[in-house]
Amino acid sequence: MTPSQPPFLNSQPALLALENGMIFRGFAFGDVEAEAEGEVIFNTAMMGYQEALTDPSYYGQILTFTYPHIGNYGVNPYDGESGSMQAEGLIVREYSKAYSSWRATRSLAEFLQEHCKIGIEGIDTRALVRVLRSEGVMRGIISAKEKRPDALIERSRNLPSMNGLDLTEYVSCKEPFLFEEQEEPYILSTHEYRLPRKLRVAAIDYGIKKNILRRLASYGCEIMVFPSTVHADDIRAYDPDGIFLSNGPGDPAVVNIDAVREVLTEKPIFGICLGHQILGLALGAATYKMKFGHRGVNHPVKNLLTGTIEITSQNHGFAIDAASMPPEIELTHINLNDNTVSGFRHRTLPIFCVQYHPEAAPGTHDSDYLFRQFVEAMVEHRRIALAVA
């Protein structure tokens, strides 16, 4: 496909090649000497490109935004979900070289260049998303160096599939660390929940977003972050009040979850996204790869316990198979777009999880109550433990 008109600000031609043989022609921005290889997916959010690009759950993927105008508010030092760009590359209809925001310190192109990542604009993103929705997400390559479309298509077909791929080792911390929140200048704190003693949370980092840590801290939690390879005894040695399982990239079915299985009955546990899938696997359910996943900030979810509808922020390409859920698991949330599992809880243990992001950065705050629910579960578990002692 030829680049869309009118002409774009960047003049370096670039190609997007898909494994199904399709070629999209556009213009490169960011690091034009770099190439992007990975699974091509799409996000329907109208804002939050910095948070998405730095979200470790996008590791190994090339991110397409359906919103046509990207880059207009630049990049700032505070909104990143990790310390670097995690997505392999970026696809947009139109990149805005001019940006305007009092918080911005550089352009999106400068951010990409800083992290040696390439973006491509001038793509008909509507046509691309129709292909991904009808055929499913697929492997692809962005390049401004390789001029031979057939060579890029062949290379894309040889990329590893996301099925069977454990990517958590690339995004998890290497050593445990105590989270310390750094307040942004001129922005009011969101702390709103205070306890006589801080609750100790052991967070297993499969690719955790910083805003999840900030939200837990705002509810009065002390958070020790552990690598994805943590052993159960390391968690026990910290003596937490609760255990949190984070979001992350890749296929949940190949992640080592031995530590999670060992501590299932010991503490309250809360999981988000990959953590939700890992909890399901640890309890005996199965996961599967979705056709094109859920990625955006406007996904409707029904809370089956209250009957309310929550508008949620989501980013996942795998899901729990509802038919495989054992009797001790109770379905609590469903995605109203396709009725897939969006949340469950254990019927007798203080364990629950959701397949979306209640910290919602960006997104609505409809599901923030889940952090309070986790806190209340920890407080109750501590009360019972003290009473027994």
Note the pLDDT of residue 389.
67
pLDDT tens readout for residues 265-307: 999 999 999 999 999 999 999 999 999 999 999 999 999 999 9
Picking from 124, 155, 171, 209, the residue whose alpha carbon sits closest to that of residue 36 is: 155
pLDDT higher than 50, residue 379? yes
Q: What is the pLDDT of residues 110-144, one digit of tens each?
A: 999 999 999 999 999 999 999 999 999 999 999 99
Task: Give the separation between CA 108 and CA 74, rounded to whole angstroms.
Answer: 5
37, 39, 81, 359: the catalytic one is 359
Closest CA to 96 of 117, 65, 58, 133: 65
Cβ atoms within 10 Å, residue 160: 12
pLDDT, position 385: 80
Judge if pTM exceeds 0.85: yes
Residue 230 burial (10 A CB sphere; 0-12, 13-18, 19+): buried
Q: Flag the least confident range among 68-82, 216-230, 240-254, 359-373.
A: 359-373
Query: Of the residues 273, 276, 299, 353, which is catalytic?
Result: 273
pLDDT bucket at 363, cuts 50 / 70 / 90: confident
Using CB atoms within 10 A of its CB, is residue 78 exposed (0-12), middle (13-18) or buried (19+)? middle
Using CA atoms of 286, 167, 290, 85 in order, give the dihedral in degrees to the nearest 10: 150
Q: Residue 4 has what pLDDT?
A: 46
DSSP state string for 56-77: GGGBTEEEEESSSEE-TT-B-S
Burial 344-357 (b: 16+ CB within 10 A, else e): bbbeebbbbbbbbb
The architecture (CATH level 2) of 13-157 comes to 3-Layer(bba) Sandwich (3.50)
pLDDT at residue 178, as a whole number:
97
Is 88 tagged catalytic?
no
Q: Are 58 and 86 in contact, with CB atoms under 8 Å apart?
A: yes
Report, as an integer, the average pLDDT of 224-233.
Answer: 98
Indicate the fold that domain 168-388 takes in CATH: Rossmann fold (3.40.50)
pLDDT value at residue 47: 93
Q: Say if 13-157 and 168-388 have the same CATH topology.
A: no
Residue 184 has pLDDT above 80, yes or no: no
> Would you state the pLDDT for residue 19?
98
Mean pLDDT along residues 256-266: 97
- Cα-Cα-Cα-Cα torsion 152, 36, 246, 231, nearest 10 degrees, comes to 80
For the question of residue 273 being annotated catalytic, the response is yes
What value does the mean pLDDT take over residues 297-324?
97
* 199 three-class SS: strand
Between 68 and 386, the more confident residue is 68
309 vs 357: CA distance, rounded Å:
15
Tell me the three state secondary structure of residue 117.
coil
Question: CA 184 to CA 205: how far, in whole Å?
Answer: 23
- 7: pLDDT strictly greater than 50: no
| pLDDT surpasses 90 at 362 | no
**Rg for the chain (alpha carbons), in Å?**
21
- Hey, what are 172's tokens? 């998890």
From the list 294, 299, 316, 357, the catalytic residue is 357
**What's the one-letter identity of residue 15?**
L
Catalytic site includes residue 262 = no
The pLDDT of 60-86, averaged and rounded, is: 97
Percentage of residues in the chain having pLDDT higher than 70:
94
Q: Where are the domains of the chain?
A: 13-157, 168-388
